[in-house]
Structure 1
Amino acid sequence: MYTHSSALTTLFGLLNTLGTLISRFTDQQDAARKKGLELYNLGEFRSSEAYLTIAATAGDSESQYALAEVIRRREKSLDEKDKTHADKDWYALAAAQGDIYALLRLADKASLEQAKTLAQARADSGDGQAMLQLYEMTKDIAWLKKSAEANFLEGQYILAIVHDKDHTFIPDAVERRTTIDSWLKRAAEGGFSKAMHWYSNRPPISQDLPARREWVIKRAQLNDVNAVLEYGYGLGGVYEDEDGVDTEYGFEKDLIKGYGLIWLVLDTTREFWRYNEASNNLSGIAKDMSSADMEAGKAFAQEWKGTHPPMWECRLTYSDLK
């Protein structure tokens, strides 16, 4: 069969155009996924929903689970008659791709059985997160201990919380405190920001300002939004007493950097529970600064933003424990 060369040229042109459009659309989906998950991890749930919807519709399981979580959080505050239960649909799509936490949220018998089968297989290969998931299903603390011993940082942190809340596991107060401190220290040294925060607020470190200062700086370097704000407060003099001494962390005042970090938190967030507090403190700091100083602070903030990972809230993946 003979095909005219001009027809082939036209066909190849159409294919190239189609390929370019598909690539562009995929790039847009990837960008939406990245932005949506960043906002979700920061706790900017309303802002994240549109981006997550694009990526979730395209089939990304992580975005599907995150979108379901956003909807679940929103609908928790609604009367039953106003709820759409749309979160179940997104959980189901993520679950169909093997997302264990989505299966746990669905919570029907078949989903829980599938979750246990998947988690058991992964736990058998040494997956500490799967061991934590088995704990979430069974509430058998043996699985939580295995997760912690497998060096899964979130498992170590949750084990410390469980021991702190339920004294029946370790009745002796001294032994219990030592155990909690040990797991918190391991998780903190491993880089788990919530563990760093709790560990640095327990005696004797809570009375050791240089140690507390070091821990809050480490947390801020991870761009944990609460730690960035605390770092900014320390540098901005928010915690100074009447003698000009920072009684919380022992920071030397640096108004430009302090202003910059607080401004960055406000510029990055809208739903942050400390937003109004941060805004009031920034206004107080600004009273002792010139316009040039404030612009220098914003320049420092942009430099920080460019050299650190996206700001986030460091929430637990599934558990509602505090």
Structure 2
Amino acid sequence: MKRLRIILTIATFAWSLNAFAEMTTEQILAKKNGITLYNQLKISSALPYLDIASKAGDQDAQYYLGESLRKRNQYMTLEAHKWYEASATQGNLYAMIQLGRSSDDLCVTMKNCQNSEKTPQEWLLSAVSLAKPKAEHGDSEAMYIMYEATLDHTWLEKSANSGNPTAQFWMAISTRQGEGFFLPWKRKESVGNWFKASAEGGNPRAMMEYAAYIHESGGDLEVARHWIKVAAEKGYESGVTSYGAYLAHAPERFGFELDLVKGYALTSLLKELNEGGSMQSYVEEVLPEIAEKMTPDQIKEAENFAAQWKNSHPPLSFFPDKLSR
């Protein structure tokens, strides 16, 4: 039985590689565009791109297509379930967990999930059986998967201690919300340490949280400014919003030196997020406020700077949780 499972795993992995190798340039680009749009919360715009890559057999695209369909409809539709299963069948642990969480969703309740291969509980068990050996051998992402699959906080802590930035971020959040036993000042210190570790690991959401923690704690504002800038450079919406506003002193916070050109430029980039996150009203309010302080030449310079920034930095993103609820 064990040998058969190994053979099936190898066959699935080989099929996955073959499917990716057979993807055309157009299909690979569609996957990239689809995931970018998904991360910008432009679900409707992402769907046709993800559909192209999913039909080409890409398991990541299939997972994000399932996520997009489920989020758009706010429940597990038959179509979403189909794509989650296509991804899970190729070994995608995130898809297995989402299928495992679907026990109360409509198609499961109605027992019409298009010939589902497994029950939700069986999908969760599959995720655990694949992730646990990796977790026990020190894979920090697998440890985090174990936490998501079992909700055992011990796995979250193990993953965080092994350096997983996502786990470190959620350790900070759970500690701030009262998880664990701390003296009051030690709890706050632990929250800051976890946000710092996650930020250093590249998590833009943690960067912004750590900057806020420093500000609230009366810490070194130069360090806080650094993390806001890095979060913006990563493309994180909150980082770009804050960096642009603070550079333009709209409002003045964190001690940023006034730079209307960069502030206007960065704020103008947020127009791109008009479909996701209701950003348009913010831009329409703040951008004219900054423009009032600028000359026409400065605005033109800002427009050039915005174009250069967009070409040299990652796409804007809300960095939603990969395993969303």
Q: Same fold by TM (over 0.5)?
A: yes
Shift of 1:130: 0.9
The change in CA–CA distance for 1:69 and 1:25 in structure 2 (over 3 A counts) is closer
Task: Provide structure 2 residue ranges, at least 5 long, that are not aligned to the other structure.
Answer: 1-20, 101-119
1:92 to 85, 102, 105: 85
Shift of 1:190: 2.0
Letter in 1 for 2:83: W
Shift of 1:209: 3.4
Tell me how many residue pairs correspond in the alignment. Answer: 285
Please give the secondary structure, in 2, of the residue aligned with 1:288. coil
Asked if 1:238 corresponds to 2:250, the answer is: yes
Shift of 1:109: 1.7
1:47 to 42, 45, 48: 45
Tell me what 2:222 maps to: 210
Shift of 1:319: 4.9
2:178 to 163, 166, 175: 166
The change in CA–CA distance for 1:204 and 1:258 in structure 2 (over 3 A counts) is closer
Asked if 1:33 corresponds to 2:44, the answer is: no
Distance 2:61 2:274 in 1: 20
2:143 to 123, 131, 137: 131
In the TM superposition, what are the counterparts of 1:1-322 in structure 2 within 5 Å? 26-76=24-74, 84-107=77-100, 108-167=120-179, 169-203=180-214, 206-207=217-218, 208-239=220-251, 246=252, 248-267=253-272, 269-320=274-325
Q: Which has the larger radius of gyration?
A: 1
Task: Provide structure 1 residue ranges, at least 5 long, that are not aligned to the other structure.
Answer: 1-22, 240-245
The change in CA–CA distance for 1:103 and 1:260 in structure 2 (over 3 A counts) is same
Contact persistence 2:233–2:313 (CA under 8 A):
yes
Please give the secondary structure, in 2, of the residue aligned with 1:29. helix
Runs of 4 or more consecutive aligned structure 1 residues displaced over 3 Å after TM superposition:
203-209
* Segment of structure 1 superposing worse, 94-103 or 187-196: 187-196
Shift of 1:203: 4.9
Shift of 1:36: 0.7
Please give the secondary structure, in 2, of the residue aligned with 1:250. coil
Contact persistence 1:199–1:205 (CA under 8 A):
no
Tell me what 1:8 maps to: none
1:236-267 alpha-carbon deviations (Å, 9 max, x no partner): 2211xxxxxx2x12122222211111111213
Letter in 2 for 1:213: R
Distance 1:270 1:74 in 2: 13
Instruction: Using the aligned pairs only, state the percent identity.
Output: 33
Shift of 1:204: 5.7
Please give the secondary structure, in 1, of the residue aligned with 2:213. coil
Tell me what 2:110 maps to: none
> Cα RMSD (Å) of the superposition?
2.2
